Structure 1
Amino acid sequence: MKRKLKSDMEQVSRFSEEEIARRAASDPDALPTDEAFWMRAVRAEHPAKKQNVTIRLSPGVLEFFKRQGPGYQTRINAVLERYVEIQENQIARR
């Protein structure tokens, strides 16, 4: 049976700005930010939707990625994205 997750938004909506700031400051996972951080911040774009393709890989390559567990196709994609980035950087330097 799936457990239904509860949202704390109703409770949070009743917090004052001071209470929110106090709780954020005491949260060990919250990283402090300052004006300089926000001046350097850039808006992240949603990644393009992936396309389904058929690709032929050598058995050794496929087994290497599958041995690392679920998500092997995502890891293969990440390796290929990094390869493209390196190649584009080399082309741009020429």
Structure 2
Amino acid sequence: MAKTSKTDWERLAKLNDPNIDTSDIPELGEDFFRHAELRVPTKQAVTIRLDSDVLEWFKGQGAGYQTRINQLLRQYMQAQQKHRQ
């Protein structure tokens, strides 16, 4: 059975930045940024067989289709990881 969200997404979509309460989120100080590191996940080239209509659909969405496929696979992976915990 699918979970339903109790979040009022329509109301949230209408909020602009000054109307969002961030009082419970601490500001990040200079110390944080001094020690912060940018970590970009490494990519690995692979060969994958996709149905031709699936590949054409992704390509039809424009540049970055491989990134979009990767994002969808990541979302699926994360959902499966949460489900199995």
TM-score tier by shorter-chain length is 0.5 to 0.7
- Of structures 1 and 2, the one scoring higher in RCO (CA 8 A, sep 6+) is 2
Alpha-carbon deviation of 1:85? Answer: 0.4
Structure-to-structure mapping, 1:5-44, within 5 angstroms: 36-38=25-27
Give the Cα–Cα distance (whole angstroms) in 2 for the partners of residues 71 and 36 of structure 1: 33
| Structure 2: stretches of 5+ with no match in the other structure | 1-16
Alpha-carbon deviation of 1:45? Answer: 5.3
Correspondence for 2:48 among 46, 51, 55: 55
Q: How many pairs were matched up?
A: 59
Q: Which contiguous aligned blocks of 4+ residues in structure 1 show a shift greater than 6 angstroms?
A: none
Report which of the two structures shows the higher radius of gyration computed on alpha carbons.
1
Give the Cα–Cα distance (whole angstroms) in 1 for the partners of residues 37 and 77 of structure 2: 20
Alpha-carbon deviation of 1:35? Answer: 8.2
Q: CA RMSD in A?
A: 2.9
Give the Cα–Cα distance (whole angstroms) in 2 for the partners of residues 46 and 60 of structure 1: 34
TM score, norm. by length of structure 1 = 0.52
Give the Cα–Cα distance (whole angstroms) in 2 for the partners of residues 79 and 36 of structure 1: 29
Change (3 A) 1:69 1:82: same
TM score, norm. by length of structure 2 = 0.57
The answer for the alignment partner of 1:14 in structure 2 is none
The answer for the alignment partner of 1:8 in structure 2 is none
